[in-house]
Chain A
Amino acid sequence: AQRVTQPEKLLSVFKGAPVELKCNYSYSGSPELFWYVQYSRQRLQLLLRHISRESIKGFTADLNKGETSFHLKKPFAQEEDSAMYYCARTRGNEKLTFGTGTRLTIIP
Chain B
Amino acid sequence: NAGVTQTPKFQVLKTGQSMTLQCAQDMNHEYMSWYRQDPGMGLRLIHYSVGAGITDQGEVPNGYNVSRSTTEDFPLRLLSAAPSQTSVYFCASSYSSFIEAFFGQGTRLTVV
A96:B42 contact, CB within 8 angstroms = no
User: How far does the alpha carbon of A94 sit from the alpha carbon of B48 in the complex, in Å?
Assistant: 12
Nearest A residue to B43, CB-CB: A98
Determine whether A57 belongs to the interface, using a CB cutoff of 8 Å to chain B.
no
Interface size range of chain B in the complex: 20 to 34
> Which secondary structure dominates where chain A touches chain B?
loop
A49:B42 contact, CB within 8 angstroms = no
A43:B103 contact, CB within 8 angstroms = yes
Q: Using a Cβ cutoff of 8 Å, how many contacts connect chains A and B?
A: 54
User: How far does the alpha carbon of A100 sit from the alpha carbon of B98 in the complex, in Å?
Assistant: 18
B45:A95 contact, CB within 8 angstroms = yes
Interface residues in A, total, Cβ within 8 A: 23
User: How far does the alpha carbon of A94 sit from the alpha carbon of B41 in the complex, in Å?
Assistant: 20
A95:B103 contact, CB within 8 angstroms = no
Q: Which of B35, B40, B43, B98 contacts A9 (CB 8 A)?
A: B40
Contacts of A95 in B (CB 8 A): 33, 45, 48, 58, 98
**Residues of A with Cβ closer than 8 Å to B?**
6, 9, 32, 34, 36, 42-46, 49, 86, 90, 92-101
The 6 nearest A-B residue pairs measured at CB: A100-B42, A96-B98, A98-B43, A44-B103, A43-B105, A43-B103
